[in-house]
Structure 1
């Protein structure tokens, strides 16, 4: 029998398999040095390829994953990084570039091991990347806070696009790089002051004053990168609220026992497992659910289902950058080891509520959505695509209780009948007047009948 070899096989047919396997293992020996845990990952290829615009930087590349774009379509921003490095060094007269490089060299190995993939950059090239990217991020912050005029802030698209790129999941460097550069450039009371540093970043990321933000150190001590810090600032208020709600007073305990006694058990309700979805906005509206803007939300996720079937939702402004931000936050939660899925749950909630442009119209009318896209249909597509591929634990997600309560309200025949009555007969002032007039006429007719018949029965015999 004749054996057919491919060109690759012919080149290696004389090399024993044992040697080929050993060579491959030696090529991948770098993996043995990685002790983890990894904190910077790639989005799975099948997800990223279908939504490249949501994960790839448009203006500035940070870190090694999109390093290949620096000499191509993002080359202009690389020149700006050198200019901002010079500006960074001028902030401290005692600071020199040698000090910065020494600081980056001291953490180079640990930083390299933060990435889940092998970084094919030499030591000096890798350190230069960290220096340029870290100084670029800090200079953007410094200039924004002090309102220094800069070419990067000219034009409405510049700052918005840069900010969006800095919060991409695959476009990150470890937070320790930014912290180390901040410590060596600052002087006086702000030097080595982590709270001051977090305040600086919070003002830029959250667009709020530092006095209005709290920094629970048990979370912030483990910041992995800029997107992770933004995620913590975004969800911390809801976590703190859960921790501070406990009140061991006897009155509260008595109320809790009473509520448990009068509330049907999950088995009787038939909703032991919360639904993975709830009806869309228009269906809920027809069933009597009323939508209202949460006037003073603690954060974006402060959604409440109140007495009387009122669903309070914090206002959300949607634009071309919001989808990328939420998508990358969901990607971050997929790789976080501490299990918080708040943003993923929020995306699942909004995807359930919004299917069509009619759903968007109801929420817009309620002040919940501020649509900056071209149409309500585009806004509906925005939420539909945002929820594609979003998986979560339906038993333990952030809105599990809300999903259950909304579904119970929607399934109630009484609520649906009452809502149908209101919609049919009290949907406008003229309809109310018509009903009242009909009731008055009916009453007058009954009264007239009574006075017509009554004399006959009371007539003396």
Structure 2
């Protein structure tokens, strides 16, 4: 039955149920042709494909290498609302792995992410695996969740990302989704100095740090954050224009 498969997927993904891969290979050699371990990986991907909360069912589901995984200094980026105020466009990108986030010319391209009942458990258990992994460069899930946590500060951020098609919220509650990302990284070591999205983060911060973009952010935040504020600005501009016109006619009366 479908519910049995779903339950097995979730149970096998639990950190306490994960086995060293060499043990799985030994067991697999007992029931299949020995040393055909690529087939074991293929079967595992087929079985767990429904758990992956976005595109990525292929041999390589990790981020494309663009220099972003090099060691370096970086700092967190603003949330979705602040990025929009700074002129950053957030768009959904199709046909890419879940982790292939791009930033070019003020446009952040993010593959769609589906949030459902099993998503939090999926992320938490893979993060736990990465935390105990001896290779400190294997932090793809930890880094991805950390990056999304930067974008999602409040339910309003989730709402915007949902409107853009970046988040497919099967839970239906934006606040629940924001809470998942705000709490999921608690007590987690990282992101490390080898943060997979360090290059993107640095370029986003450079974009947001430009004076012109800062002015636009302040304008949007202080004067264009609601229809009434925008109407007030239009009314003020209209009043200023009328005053200017009246002054011109007073100084240069028609003969």
Shared fold per TM-score greater than 0.5: yes
| Alignment match, 2:45 | 202
Measured in 1, the distance between the counterparts of 2:242 and 2:154 equals 47
Residue matched to 2:7: 161
**Does residue 1:322 correspond to 2:119, yes or no?**
yes
Asked if 1:279 corresponds to 2:78, the answer is: yes
Q: 2:152 aligns with which of 344, 354, 364?
A: 354
Structure 1 gap ranges (5+): 1-152, 185-190, 216-232, 244-271
CA distance, structure 2, for counterparts of residue 288 and residue 415 of structure 1: 5
The answer on 1:298 being equivalent to 2:89 is no
Number of paired residues?
Answer: 243
Alignment deviations for residues 54-92 of structure 1 (CA, whole Å, 9 cap, x no partner): xxxxxxxxxxxxxxxxxxxxxxxxxxxxxxxxxxxxxxx
What is the DSSP-based 3-state SS (H/G/I as helix, E as strand, rest coil) of the residue aligned with 1:170? helix
Q: CA separation in 2, counterparts of 1:289 and 1:389?
A: 33
Post-superposition offset of 1:398: 0.6
Deviation at 1:340, TM superposition (A): 1.7
Once the two structures are superposed, the pairs formed by residues 372-383 of structure 1 within 5 Å of their partners are 372-373=170-171, 375-383=173-181
- 5 Å matches for 1:180-259? 180-184=29-33, 193-206=36-49, 215=59, 233-235=60-62, 238-239=63-64, 241-242=65-66
What's the counterpart of residue 215 of structure 2?
417
Q: Does the CA contact (< 8 Å) of 1:291 and 1:366 recur in 2?
A: no
Can you list the C-alpha shifts for 1:136-164, whole angstroms capped at 9, x where unaligned? Answer: xxxxxxxxxxxxxxxxx15xx33222111
* CA distance in 2: counterparts of 1:432 and 1:280, whole angstroms: 23
Greater helix content:
1
Name the TM-score, length of structure 1 as normaliser: 0.44
TM-score (norm 2): 0.74
DSSP 3-state at the match of 2:16: coil
CA distance in 2, matches of 1:405, 1:341: 21
Bigger Rg over Cα: 1
CA contact (8 A) 1:348 1:390 kept: no
Is the alpha carbon distance of 1:440 and 1:383 closer, same or farther for their aligned partners in structure 2, counting shifts above 3 Å? closer
170, 174, 187: which one pairs with 2:16?
A: 170
Residue pair 1:280, 1:355 contacting (<8 A) in 2 also: yes
SS in 2 for 1:360: helix
1:169 positional shift: 2.3
For the 8 Å contact 2:29–2:35, the answer to whether it is kept is: no
Q: What is the CA–CA distance in structure 2 between the aligned matches of 1:448 and 1:385, rounded to whole Å?
A: 59
Given that residues 291 and 313 in structure 1 are in contact (C-alpha distance below 8 angstroms), is that contact kept between their aligned partners in structure 2? no
TM-fit CA distance, 1:452: 6.6
Q: Structure 2: 5+ residue runs without aligned partners?
A: none
Question: Cα–Cα, structure 1 residues 319 and 427, in superposed 2: closer, same or farther, change >3 Å?
Answer: same
